[in-house]
Structures are given as structure tokens and as C-alpha cells.
Amino acid sequence: MSQFYGLVALITGASSGIGAEVAKEFARKGALLVLLARRTERLNAIAMEIDPSGEKVLAIPCDVSVDDEVKKAASLALIKFGRIDIVMKNAGWSLKGELAELNVHDYRKLFATNVFGVLNTIYATLDELKKTQGRLAVISSVKSYLSLSGDSPYSMSKFALRALCESLSQELKPDGVSVIHICPGYVATEIRQIDNQGVWRSDWQDNIPSSLLISSSQAAKEIVQAVSQRKKEIAIPNYSKIIIFLKRHLPGLVAWVILRFKIRVSYKM
Ligand SMILES: NC(=O)c1ccc[n+]([C@@H]2O[C@H](COP(=O)([O-])OP(=O)(O)OC[C@H]3O[C@@H](n4cnc5c(N)ncnc54)[C@H](OP(=O)(O)O)[C@@H]3O)[C@@H](O)[C@H]2O)c1
């Protein structure tokens, strides 16, 4: 029998990239799916690809940054499937720039999705996860350990998620809810084509060297496996594991390398 047969997985940010591939991977393993994102057409296309009959998948337009939208989505999920076993917080984006190029509003805008959108998702689903002794998987980043010049908004938001996961894994243990903190490195998705206004710029090239990129389907396989094993934290691919190890054990060396080789994120605004 498939690993997740009959379990209900709710995934935010399922209209593209990692979220869409994770949804397909869960579906292959027998899960029923609740897919959330703002772009309805793209979300419906993913849902159709997974199950054209619509029996095993429910697509719900939802902006996680708007208080109560995830709550409404969770209610619809319960009406259709009656339970929620897995919550995959994946919705997120990246706003870049040095502090002097940005303002407080920019940081707030990013936090509205990357941090408060996560809290909205958790508050909307936690009671159900407690009932099923389920799993809360948080797509964070290797940037939850490493913050480079030009990347403070995004890294701040991911550092916050790491802190949240660390506390929640202790707080939710008595309820049998597992918290899985997921730290990808560079994954080939549209994230680096989103400008600081949140607009998708399809003509922007991904400037990350292909040797550092993994595909979203490869990432999804490892993420779903970590969820199935209720792992506390995973880092993908291997260089992310090395970065986290060095940040934990040799932070001075990492700081020296960053300064010596002037490592910073490159970005368009
Ligand atoms: N790609 C990487 O290199 C990488 C590395 C580390 C971590 N991550 C993390 O992986 C997650 C997924 O990103 P991705 O790389 O797959 O990028 P992506 O292809 O741009 O996907 C982002 C997803 O988030 C959704 N989203 C954004 N804002 C939202 C909002 N306010 N409400 C609901 N949904 C929202 C988007 O859907 P709509 O626009 O339709 O709403 C889209 O489905 C993010 O949390 C990102 O930080 C990515």
C-alpha cells in the first residue's frame, strides 16, 4: 500500500516550483491533497495534472499573508476530506537588496508572507494536526543559517522560521505532532524571477551556476522522504549540509571566507 494512502496533505504555494512537485510526489505516494496559492489558473492546472476527476485533490485560491484566508481554506479541506495529516508550509518569495536600498515597508512586505503567512498556516491547521498526530513541514532554507550581503530580508525571514521550528518541535512533542525544518540550497524554480514588488519576470535568467542547482522534482523526493521519516531537519543538496556544519562548528572560518572572497548575493531589483 502507498506510504501516505488516505492521509491528507495541505500544501501552501503549490502553484509552482517546490510546492507543485511536492504535491505530485505526495500524490504518487497515495496522499489526498489540498493545494493553496494565489494564481488560480496555475493551481488548477497542477490539480488537474494530479487528478482530473478532482476526487483526490482540492485547489483553493489563498493568499497566506491575509489573515483568515488559510483558516477558510482549512475549513473547506475538512468539508471535503474530514482530516488534515500533513501541513507543508512552502509559500514564500525573496526580496533582495542592501539595507540602504530598502525600507521598513519592504521588510514588512516579505515578512507578511514568509513569516506571518507561516503563522497563519499553523494557527489554521494545528488543531487538526493534533487530532491526527500529524506532521508540520516547514520549507525554510540554508539561508536560515547563513546571511549574506544583499540578502538580509530573506535570511531574516528564514532565521525566524528556524527559531519557530526549534520551539514548536518542543511544544508540540506531547501532542505527537512532528515538526520538520527543511533547508534547501539552490533549487531551479521561478523564485529568482520574482522582483521586489512580487511580480514574476519571465525574461530574467537564473544567475545561479547550474552545478549548484537541483531540480524541484529531486528536491521534492527528498522532502517527502523526510516527512515520511518525521525527520527533525534536512538540508539538500550536500553542499547545504556542509554550509550548516561549518556555520555551527567553524563560524569564524565562514565569516573570514565570506569577507576574503567578497561573497554576496547578486540580484536585480
Ligand atoms: N528555489 C530555491 O532556490 C529555494 C531555496 C531555498 C528555499 N526555497 C523556498 O522554497 C519555497 C518555494 O519556493 P520556490 O523556489 O518553489 O519558488 P516559486 O516557484 O516562486 O514558488 C513559490 C510559491 O509560493 C506561492 N506564494 C508566494 N506568495 C504567496 C502568498 N502570499 N500566498 C500564497 N502563496 C504564495 C506562489 O504561488 P502564487 O504566486 O500562485 O501565490 C508559488 O506557488 C519558498 O518558501 C522558498 O523560500 C527556495
- Per-10-residue mean pLDDT of the chain, 269 residues long, equals 91 98 98 98 98 98 97 98 98 97 98 98 98 98 98 98 98 98 98 95 93 98 98 98 98 97 88
Q: Quick check: is 86 in a domain?
A: yes
Q: Quick check: is 2 in a domain?
A: no
Q: Quick check: is 118 in a domain?
A: yes
The whole-angstrom distance between residue 218's C-alpha and the CA centroid of its chain comes to: 15
Whole-number Å distance between alpha carbons of 120 and 112: 10
Distance between Cα 187 and ligand 1 center (Å): 11
The predicted structure's pLDDT at residue 267: 80
Distance between Cα 260 and ligand 1 center (Å): 32
Q: Quick check: is 80 in a domain?
A: yes
Question: Which is it for strands 186-188 and 8-12: parallel, antiparallel or unpaired?
Answer: unpaired
The predicted structure's pLDDT at residue 255: 97
123 annotated active-site: no
Instruction: Report CA Rg, the chain.
Output: 18
Q: Residue whose CA is closest, atom 48 of ligand 1?
A: 187
Q: Quick check: is 208 in a domain?
A: yes
Split into its structural domains, the chain has a count of 1
Whole-number Å distance between alpha carbons of 136 and 159: 17
Question: What range defines the domain where residue 237 resides?
Answer: 8-260
- CATH number assigned to the domain comprising residue 69: 3.40.50.720
Distance between Cα 162 and ligand 1 center (Å): 17
The predicted structure's pLDDT at residue 99: 98
CB 167 within 8 Å of CB 219: no
Q: Model pTM greater than 0.95?
A: yes
Q: Quick check: is 267 in a domain?
A: no
Q: Quick check: is 175 in a domain?
A: yes
Instruction: Determine the atom of ligand 1 nearest the C-alpha atom of 20.
Output: 43
Q: Quick check: is 249 in a domain?
A: yes
Angle between helices 116-132 and 69-81 (to 10 degrees): 30
Of 189, 217, 218, 266, the residue with max ligand 1 atoms within 8 A of its CB, to mutate for a pocket test, comes to 189
Q: Answer yes or no: is the C-beta of 9 below 6 A from any ligand 1 atom.
A: no
